[in-house]
Chains A and B, each alone.
Chain A
Amino acid sequence: MSEMTWQQLRDLDCGAVRTLGDSWKTHVDAMLDQTERLRSDVIDGHLSVEHYESNTATQVREQIAMTADRFEDDLSDYASTRIATTLHEAADAFEAEQDELKELVPLIEQHDFDIEGPQSEYDVNLSGGLHQAILTLDPPQWLCDMCGVKKPDGFWDWDTVKVLFNGVDLYGTAIGLAGQYQDWLRAVMSRAHDADDDAAAALKEMRENPSELPPQLGATYDDLIGDYKDAVSQEVADEARAIAEGTSGMSPEQVNQWWEGLSDAERDALVAEHPEWVGPVDGIPTESRDTANRTLLDDRIDGLDTQIAAKEAELAQTPPTDPQYSILEAEIHDLQTDRDELSDLQGEITNEDGSPKSYSETGQQYYLLGFDTEGSGQAIVSVGNPDTADNVNAYVPGTGGDLAGASGGLLDRTRTMAFDAQNAAPGEETATVLWMGYDAPDDLIEATDSKWAEEGSADLESFTQGIRATAEGDPSNLTLTGHSYGTTMVGTAAATEGVDADNLMFVASPGVGVDTASALGVNEDNVWASTNESDMIQYAPVHGNAPVNEDFGGNTFTSDATRESGSWWQFWDGPVENHSSYWDTGNEEHPVANTTSRTNQSYIVTGQEDLVR
């Protein structure tokens, strides 16, 4: 784990790290010139077929070509992808957090706060001087301004008394501000440590032994060359497996570089023969992932059918009085549930003839970026291709989100977001992703625990990095839209791991894990929040300062409270129902459609903030 201190981060010469990366890139380019010369001057020149035609000459040309290939592969895999890209990514990440520190540390000092504690979890506390000033009724001007009191002039006049009676507010205000700075500092250092650890992992996972070279020319050449070619193929497979299993240490950008460095035949072979190494991997282009994931989905459904049949056969041989009978019944039920949910998902994204289905209203194809039946189940489905889209909106659902929802209500909501985005920006392509990529809490009790968000944070970070890595052309305008606990998921990932997003949108948030927009690593102007006036969630900020609060420091947009209590004695119904009313259509019971929330969301997603109200 990184032990970088805030002072080390502040003083780090990021330019030097970046320059080192540049140097490696330059080295790679220079070395590639050498292999090009080998091919053009030697293989196709002095040693060409025109000059030397014999079996030996053919072998020599082949051996030199393979040596050049090997050299280029190593340059690409190690010098470029591993070393240079790692240095560049680390420099970018450190510099971003350094910029935040340059803004934050002077604020901490100006307000007479102290940074204390270990680098793993800094505290920002009131300094002794600030304590003394408050206790002696001589608070600093900034604190008087924040509390709306006139700074006492040293005498026991009315202002002094007023300050005295506002003593709790003075302390509370100062502690509250220190707490916001603490959140901000901890978030900065968490992301910096994450970047440090990522860089260390990428370098650590470089193979310790140099790659094998083609066999030497000689009597055994013919015997060894086949094994060598097999070994080269195996290396690609091993690398793909390591990437999929998360042991390669490579970032999505590095994965993308590795993928682009493969031949078409290698890529096709991986998709066809090992879809499990392609489908779930951030950094591999969406088209390939979709193809692989559809194969995996077919296989998983077939596998479940086989399992169910086997269990049913076993059940048929088991007497109902046997305790094993009810166990088998429960197992079959669980398997059948998984099978039905996956089949429903397949039906939503696949035509009758097996081809990928498109969402008819917007004409955009569905892409399957991942699925899992573990826990409550997960699925990542995109309406439209995020690699080619102008805007990408990833919707992160909250409590109760599961695999069943990914082919039901959650996907319906995603489609409506896609439709609304197209309405708002007809000339642009907006891909709308249902990111049900974490194990969401099942109920409101579970939703008081931050662990679900913490466990999903690295995956959400990776997802955003993958969107960036696979973008064709200019980067998209990427928005993460959390609803309910989904906002906690988004905020926690942003503060602890960092998300590579342009906008964060928090709908009906119980708190996002930090008390200030400054801690989210995204420009505060691009942080948006909305909670309607009746939503119960405003009374349960269990995960920190509500992002709609003014002192959170982000923007807010209007959402209507469209639902009302059914009866006066069921007064709690309205607040409960209004937690889920943000995409409402109307009816007699809930008479107002939430047109305001839907249109506002679509404006933010498509970069038309001037229309938000």
Chain B
Amino acid sequence: MDTPPASEYTQAEAYAPVETAAAEAVAALHDFPGFEQRSWAEMPCSRRGVDDPDYTNIEVRYRFSIADSQTDLVRQQYVDSLREHWIGKGYRIVTDDAVEGTTRTDRNLVAHRADGVTLWYNVSGYVGLYIQSGCVPTSDIADIQYIPPTGGIRPGGKGDKVEEYFPGGIPVTQQAVNPFDSPESFEDQL
């Protein structure tokens, strides 16, 4: 297996810029009703067709409640707002589609940033904002810092579903990393 190309972030480093991207997106949305839940997920990273346990893809997921997911504001207006916002920031829109079903219209707006972060606004039964790091070197779980959620979710609350990464409890009282205050490098913080 070839050595994968160097990633801009490790897994532990990737959460901060990804959460920053989420916070920036939320700031661009008017009359924001608040998300219902935030979660961190991972997907296998394959190299030459085989899953490589030394690498992982992280996906930070923010989702609206089912009630808010049914509003025109969230299903349509936010797609337009985010498209304008992301284009304005120089992100590359790689997917922008609408799928007409018999009972609802689903939408996908996907933007790619130069640093490798991908933002996906998905309008489906639920509506959510999913932000992905791509393939990054796996970190020890102890190296992963808690980053408070954006979009109205209470840190460590019912909607903050990141407890898997903090088996000793979500450290909401510690000095949290401010997602809007991203330094040039996260290296010193790890």
Chain A residues close to B by CB (< 8 Å)? 352, 360-361, 399-400, 404-405, 408-410, 412-413, 415-416, 419, 422-427, 444, 536, 566, 573, 576-577, 579-581, 583-593, 595-596, 599, 602, 608, 610-611, 613
Interface stretch (choices B25-33, B114-122, B142-150) = B114-122
For A588, the closest partner residue in chain B by CB is B116
Apart from A410-B44, A419-B41, A587-B7, list 17 A-B contacts with CB within 8 A.
A352-B167, A360-B161, A360-B164, A361-B61, A400-B51, A405-B51, A415-B41, A419-B61, A444-B49, A580-B46, A587-B118, A593-B95, A593-B110, A593-B120, A599-B106, A610-B102, A611-B106
**B102 CB, nearest partner CB in chain A, Å:** 5
Is the CB–CB distance between A423 and B116 below 8 Å?
A: no
Please name all residues of chain A whose beta carbon is closer than 8 Å to the beta carbon of B161 when the two chains form the complex: 360-361
Q: In chain B, residues 110-156, which have Cβ atoms closer than 8 Å to a Cβ of chain A?
A: 110, 112, 114-118, 120, 122, 124-126, 128, 132-136
Question: Within 8 Å of chain A (Cβ to Cβ): is B42?
Answer: yes
Is the CB–CB distance between B94 and A589 below 8 Å?
A: no
**B51 CB, nearest partner CB in chain A, Å:** 4
CA distance A573 to B53 in the complex (A): 19
19 pairs from A and B in contact (CB 8 Å cutoff) = A360-B161, A360-B162, A409-B53, A412-B42, A415-B41, A419-B61, A423-B124, A426-B66, A426-B126, A536-B49, A577-B49, A581-B46, A584-B43, A585-B59, A586-B118, A587-B117, A587-B136, A595-B108, A611-B101
Known A588-B134, A591-B94, A599-B108; judge A577-B46 contact (CB<8 A): yes
The residue that A613 contacts in the complex, of B5, B94, B99, B102, with Cβ under 8 A, is: B99
Please name all residues of chain B whose beta carbon is closer than 8 Å to the beta carbon of A573 when the two chains form the complex: 48
Question: Within 8 Å of chain A (Cβ to Cβ): is B63?
Answer: yes
Please name all residues of chain B whose beta carbon is closer than 8 Å to the beta carbon of A416 when the two chains form the complex: 41, 43, 59
> Max chain B CB contacts within 10 Å: which of A415, A416, A566?
A416
Known A423-B128, A585-B57; judge A590-B135 contact (CB<8 A): yes
Range class of the B interface residue count: 35 or more
The residue that B41 contacts in the complex, of A412, A425, A577, A595, with Cβ under 8 A, is: A412
Please name all residues of chain B whose beta carbon is closer than 8 Å to the beta carbon of A412 when the two chains form the complex: 41-44, 56
CA distance A1 to B66 in the complex (A): 54
CA distance A157 to B92 in the complex (A): 59
Known A415-B41, A416-B43; judge A584-B110 contact (CB<8 A): no
Please name all residues of chain B whose beta carbon is closer than 8 Å to the beta carbon of A581 when the two chains form the complex: 46
Please name all residues of chain A whose beta carbon is closer than 8 Å to the beta carbon of B56 when the two chains form the complex: 412
Is the CB–CB distance between B134 and A589 below 8 Å?
A: yes
CA distance A75 to B184 in the complex (A): 77
Please name all residues of chain A whose beta carbon is closer than 8 Å to the beta carbon of B115 when the two chains form the complex: 588
CA distance A577 to B49 in the complex (A): 5
Please name all residues of chain A whose beta carbon is closer than 8 Å to the beta carbon of B190 when the two chains form the complex: none
**B158 CB, nearest partner CB in chain A, Å:** 10
Is the CB–CB distance between B99 and A583 below 8 Å?
A: no
Known A580-B46, A596-B95; judge A566-B5 contact (CB<8 A): yes
Please name all residues of chain A whose beta carbon is closer than 8 Å to the beta carbon of B136 when the two chains form the complex: 587
**A592 CB, nearest partner CB in chain B, Å:** 5
Please name all residues of chain B whose beta carbon is closer than 8 Å to the beta carbon of A419 when the two chains form the complex: 41, 61
For B92, the closest partner residue in chain A by CB is A591
Known A587-B116, A592-B110; judge A599-B43 contact (CB<8 A): no
Is the CB–CB distance between B43 and A583 below 8 Å?
A: yes
CA distance A415 to B45 in the complex (A): 15
Is the CB–CB distance between A587 and B133 below 8 Å?
A: yes
CA distance A577 to B47 in the complex (A): 7
Please name all residues of chain B whose beta carbon is closer than 8 Å to the beta carbon of A404 when the two chains form the complex: 53
Please name all residues of chain B whose beta carbon is closer than 8 Å to the beta carbon of A590 when the two chains form the complex: 134-135
Question: Within 8 Å of chain A (Cβ to Cβ): is B163?
Answer: yes
Please name all residues of chain A whose beta carbon is closer than 8 Å to the beta carbon of B42 when the two chains form the complex: 412
3 closest pairs, A vs B, by CB? Answer: A587-B134, A409-B44, A585-B132
Please name all residues of chain B whose beta carbon is closer than 8 Å to the beta carbon of A400 when the two chains form the complex: 50-51
CA distance A415 to B59 in the complex (A): 12
Question: Within 8 Å of chain A (Cβ to Cβ): is B8?
Answer: yes
Is the CB–CB distance between A610 and B124 below 8 Å?
A: no
Please name all residues of chain A whose beta carbon is closer than 8 Å to the beta carbon of B102 when the two chains form the complex: 610
Please name all residues of chain A whose beta carbon is closer than 8 Å to the beta carbon of B45 when the two chains form the complex: 409
Is the CB–CB distance between B39 and A361 below 8 Å?
A: yes
CA distance A536 to B49 in the complex (A): 10
Question: Within 8 Å of chain A (Cβ to Cβ): is B69?
Answer: yes
Is the CB–CB distance between A584 and B57 below 8 Å?
A: yes
The residue that A423 contacts in the complex, of B53, B99, B114, B126, with Cβ under 8 A, is: B126
For B14, the closest partner residue in chain A by CB is A587
**A419 CB, nearest partner CB in chain B, Å:** 7
Please name all residues of chain A whose beta carbon is closer than 8 Å to the beta carbon of B108 when the two chains form the complex: 595-596, 599
**B92 CB, nearest partner CB in chain A, Å:** 8
Is the CB–CB distance between A413 and B44 below 8 Å?
A: yes
**B13 CB, nearest partner CB in chain A, Å:** 13
CA distance A505 to B124 in the complex (A): 21
> Max chain B CB contacts within 10 Å: which of A427, A536, A587, A589?
A587
For A613, the closest partner residue in chain B by CB is B99
The residue that B95 contacts in the complex, of A584, A589, A592, with Cβ under 8 A, is: A592
CA distance A588 to B134 in the complex (A): 8
CA distance A427 to B47 in the complex (A): 37
Is the CB–CB distance between A577 and B125 below 8 Å?
A: no
Please name all residues of chain B whose beta carbon is closer than 8 Å to the beta carbon of A585 when the two chains form the complex: 43, 57-59, 118, 132-134
Q: In chain B, residues 43-102, which have Cβ atoms closer than 8 Å to a Cβ of chain A?
A: 43-51, 53, 56-59, 61, 63, 66, 69, 92, 94-95, 99, 101-102
Known A426-B69, A566-B5; judge A595-B49 contact (CB<8 A): no
Known A409-B44, A412-B43, A425-B125; judge A592-B94 contact (CB<8 A): yes
Please name all residues of chain A whose beta carbon is closer than 8 Å to the beta carbon of B125 when the two chains form the complex: 422-427
Please name all residues of chain A whose beta carbon is closer than 8 Å to the beta carbon of B110 when the two chains form the complex: 586, 592-593, 595
Please name all residues of chain A whose beta carbon is closer than 8 Å to the beta carbon of B50 when the two chains form the complex: 399-400, 580
Is the CB–CB distance between A576 and B118 below 8 Å?
A: no
Please name all residues of chain B whose beta carbon is closer than 8 Å to the beta carbon of A426 when the two chains form the complex: 66, 69, 125-126
Is the CB–CB distance between B118 and A408 below 8 Å?
A: no
Is the CB–CB distance between B49 and A579 below 8 Å?
A: yes
CA distance A579 to B47 in the complex (A): 10
Is the CB–CB distance between B163 and A360 below 8 Å?
A: yes
**B43 CB, nearest partner CB in chain A, Å:** 5
Please name all residues of chain A whose beta carbon is closer than 8 Å to the beta carbon of B43 when the two chains form the complex: 409, 412-413, 416, 583-585
The residue that B124 contacts in the complex, of A408, A580, A599, with Cβ under 8 A, is: A599
Please name all residues of chain A whose beta carbon is closer than 8 Å to the beta carbon of B47 when the two chains form the complex: 577
CA distance A577 to B2 in the complex (A): 12
> Max chain B CB contacts within 10 Å: which of A400, A576, A577, A584?
A584
Is the CB–CB distance between A608 and B49 below 8 Å?
A: no
**B76 CB, nearest partner CB in chain A, Å:** 17
CA distance A536 to B50 in the complex (A): 13
Please name all residues of chain B whose beta carbon is closer than 8 Å to the beta carbon of A424 when the two chains form the complex: 124-125
